[in-house]
Amino acid sequence: MAKSKSVLSEFKDFIIKGDVMDLAIAVVIGTAFGLVVMALVKDLLTPLVAALFGKPNFSNFHFSINHSRFLYGDFVNSVISFLSVAAAVFFVVVKPVNALKERRRQAPEPESESRPCPECLSEIPKAATRCSFCTIAVAPVG
């Protein structure tokens, strides 16, 4: 009869797995980054928008139907806040990371020191005059 693991042992194995730890770290860093971006929007971008266009406040906008008030102004404020955060993330994180990835991708690959044999297609040195696999004579490449 196979020995079964205790529930605590299984839970410990689950917690120690790399995926769970990576996810926990990502959530913590994501939360901290979210706070940084929110501070950027609140403390830098919003005052800049207010300086350029005046301080818009849509929270009092509403309409009524059958004595029910629909406060769509809060929704407009939330959409503007979301778009501000999305723009900040795009320009502060996404664009620089994409630029770094593109720069890394464009790095030239080192030229190969070998070439395929025309007879057996094995890889042989460029300076070789004979294939070491099929022994055919080949011309050296410059």
More confident site: 79 or 119? 119
**Higher pLDDT residue, 122 or 75?**
122
53, 54, 57, 61 alpha-carbon torsion, rounded to 10°: -70
What's the pLDDT score for residue 72?
82
Higher model confidence: residue 115 or residue 24?
Answer: 115
pLDDT band of 59, cuts 50, 70, 90: confident
Find the helix or strand (DSSP H, E) in which 27 lies: helix 18-40
Query: pTM value?
Result: 0.45
**Tokens representing 122?**
């094995």
| Per-domain residue ranges of the chain | 7-105, 113-142
The CATH code of domain 7-105 reads 1.10.1200.120
